[in-house]
Structure 1
Amino acid sequence: MPVSPELLKQLLRKQKDNTITDREMALLRLYLSTPEAEDQLASIDFSDMPDAAGEPATSQEIRFQQIMQKIPRKPVRKVLWYRLAGVAAVALVMTGIGMLLQEDKDPPMLTLQTSNGELKEVILPDSSRIFLNARSAIRYPASFSGKTRTVQLLQGQAYFDVTKQEAPFIVESREGMQTIVLGTTFTVMTDSIANHFQVAVKTGKVRVERQQNTIATLLPGDGVFYDFTKSKTTHTDPGGIGEWTSGEVRLSEASFAEMANLVKQLYGITVIAGDAAVQHNQYNLPVKYGTDLRPLMEVICMVNGNRAEWRKDSTAVIIR
């Protein structure tokens, strides 16, 4: 029976933070001796553990040592252990893991963040999936317990594909917004700088609240924009919600502000309208993640017969 990837990474983090116990270290080594370990280690995504990422899927013990060499070791007493095999080893590992879970009543919180133009996917302990858009950050527990499943969207945008369970799934923002579902697919965007919050529903039903007051109840295709003074609901084709998870966004009759926000999100570059006429431009074109920005800006300018002027420090571009 395989060990949860999040629990395995939790133990590795304890080793890195010098908080791992002798028994936990012994359990790690014992797990690596089981028949299931090789395939599972090869499939685990270590991208959110920079010190342990990119290790090849070699034999269990070699892989373990390669990971451990990048993590400061905690001085511990020598632990004598023997390589067990088959069912007996798996049973012993699972018994030990069960004891560890009982001890860790408050599971550690994990943080995932993305940089310019980067997308990341994480599978939560309940098998729900989160796609994190560029320049975004999310915080989630290594395991769910209690009556709710709560994650925190710290900044940016995320697409949620939530596994249906009795325990409500809640997305919280720093501004006190809550998006509450049982099992559905939807996007949430929070911008603490511009001070607004957006939700759009692809499937299922979503309730948006702030301080226990309902802002909106949304069905497929519904969205809400909330700037902490007023809310505005919208309706669109549900098929287009979360399309950015494929690594491409299609601008369709997009405003200058929408185009500028996309460029800021993907590249961290500010786009400025050089005159009032430019602010009324509309844009229809696909934008692929990872595209070189300067050729892309040339195409964006060609759409409306404009030209781009770059600042010397390349932190902004003016469209005239």
Structure 2
Amino acid sequence: MMERKDKIVRTLDAMEHPENFTKEELDALLSDEECVRICRDLLDSREALARRYATAPDVEAEWQSFKHRQGLCQASGQPKKRSRMLYTGIALSVAASVILFLLLRLSVPEEYTVFRADLEAQVVSMETKNGVHTLHIPRGMSQLLVLPDSSRVWLNAESSLQYPESFEGMKRREVYLKGEGYFEVTKDAAHPFMVKTDALETQVLGTSFNVKAYSGNDTQVTLLEGSVKVSDRHHKELLLRPGEHTDGQLRKTSVENCTDYRAWIDGQFYFDDVELVEIMRELGRWYNVDIVFTHKEIMQERLHFQAERSDSLQDILELLNCMQRVKARMEKGKVVVGV
């Protein structure tokens, strides 16, 4: 009894001060099969121990169930002192079960998947319906498209553009974008050019600009030349001039070098003070691979990072690791990012 109590006390100390124990000592604490079995018996009977709003376990009921399974039922008339010792033992076992459960949780890091690979074949495809084309660019590719009015659009990985076979007879030249596209629009003052996304509409006469709209919550418009008028679903409008940038909430900012926003069409990854989670999603989109974080707090780490899109994924991860801010590795076919 005392030996078991001493081990529980030692486990408590390990939980409170793990830095005082070696990995071997921690492993030894978890190697006691009987203790682990007790832990599992009690946790199975009260799954609520792992829930946030769980009620306290009925120790008496759990003890009776435990005695029945283990064949330790007391004979009637047993001394009260022995009964108290048994109740003390089960109380300590409850404490041990919780501690061991937490230690087991500590030994398996949390995983936060922020991007998933697509197992389907990645190919460029075109759909046409009622005179409207939809071009789909898969992950790991980008492509230049020339529109019927000679405007040029570079589409990034996992993007699609919907556009008519001809703009003739239309007051406005409208296209619909999902993903990211860089536009060089042919001037035609009589027929404004409109890029629609789920969150914003961008109207131009003749200009160069980049639109990123992989999701409604992450929509961005960056103007390189000319001028554009950006509006949201509530008809709020914002005028952009060269070197200006706006997000999905129409918050305008100035950028030092707006040509960085078209680096991707020149075959580069370029991130200037960008959150790590967005950098890793972009890498996942290009290399079509699962991205998993082991620590939630490092997702918001901001980095300046540049690399060639022609580099292998392993080369990219080595470059990231050289910055000594995070650790990224390939594990079982996915990228795992930790500290």
* Structure-1-length-normalised TM-score: 0.60
Which of 251, 264, 287 is 1:244 aligned to? 264
For residues 155-174 of structure 1, the aligned pairs below 5 Å read 155-165=178-188, 166-173=190-197
Selected match of 1:150 from 144, 169, 174: 174
Corresponding letter in the other structure for 2:200: M
The separation in 1 between residues aligned to 2:245 and 2:192, in whole angstroms, is: 20
Q: Which residue of 2 aligns with 1:213?
A: 235
Larger-Rg structure? 2
With the length of structure 2 as denominator, give the TM-score of the two structures: 0.56
1:206 Cα deviation (Å)? Answer: 0.7
Question: Counterpart in 2 of 1:231?
Answer: 250
2:247 alignment partner, SS class: strand
C-alpha distance in 1 between matches for 2:227 and 2:208: 9
Q: Is the 8 A contact 1:107 1:141 kept in 2?
A: no
> In the alignment, which residue of structure 1 is the partner of 2:318?
298
Contact 1:150-1:172 within 8 A present in 2 as well? yes
Q: Does 1:129 align with 2:129?
A: no
Q: After the TM superposition, list the runs of 4 or more consecutive aligned residues in structure 1 that deviate by more than 4 angstroms.
A: 47-50
- Cα 1:255–1:142 change in 2 (3 A) is same
Q: Which has the higher contact order (CA 8 A, sep 6+)?
A: 2
Query: Match for 2:218 among 177, 180, 196?
Result: 196
Q: Answer yes or no: is the 8 Å Cα contact 1:112–1:137 preserved in 2.
A: yes
Distance 2:275 2:125 in 1: 38
Distance 2:124 2:301 in 1: 39
Give the match for residue 336 of structure 2.
317
CA deviations on 1:197-220 (whole Å, 9 max, x unpaired) are 211101111111134613421111
Per the TM alignment, residue 48 of structure 1 is displaced from its structure 2 partner at its CA by 6.1
Would you tell me which structure has more helix in proportion to its own residues?
2
1:184 aligns with 2:207: yes
Which residue identity lines up with residue 182 of structure 2 in the other structure? Y
Number of the residue aligned with 2:108: none
Q: Distance in 1 between matches of 2:242 and 2:322?
A: 35
Give CA-to-partner distance per residue, 1:225-253, whole Å, 9 cap, x none.
11xxx432211023323121111123334
Change over 3 Å in CA distance of 1:223–1:311 after alignment to 2: same
Structure 2 unmatched ranges of 5 or more: 1-122
Q: CA deviation at 1:302?
A: 1.9
CA distance in 1, matches of 2:241, 2:144: 24
Q: 1-side partners of 2:137 and 2:310: how far apart?
A: 13
- Structure 1: tracts of 5 or more residues without a match: 1-46, 51-105
1:272 and 1:119 map into 2 onto residues whose CA distance is 24
The change in CA–CA distance for 1:267 and 1:219 in structure 2 (over 3 A counts) is same
| 2:141 partner letter | E
Cross-structure match for 1:265: 285
The one-letter amino acid of 1:310's match is M
| Offset, 1:176 | 5.5
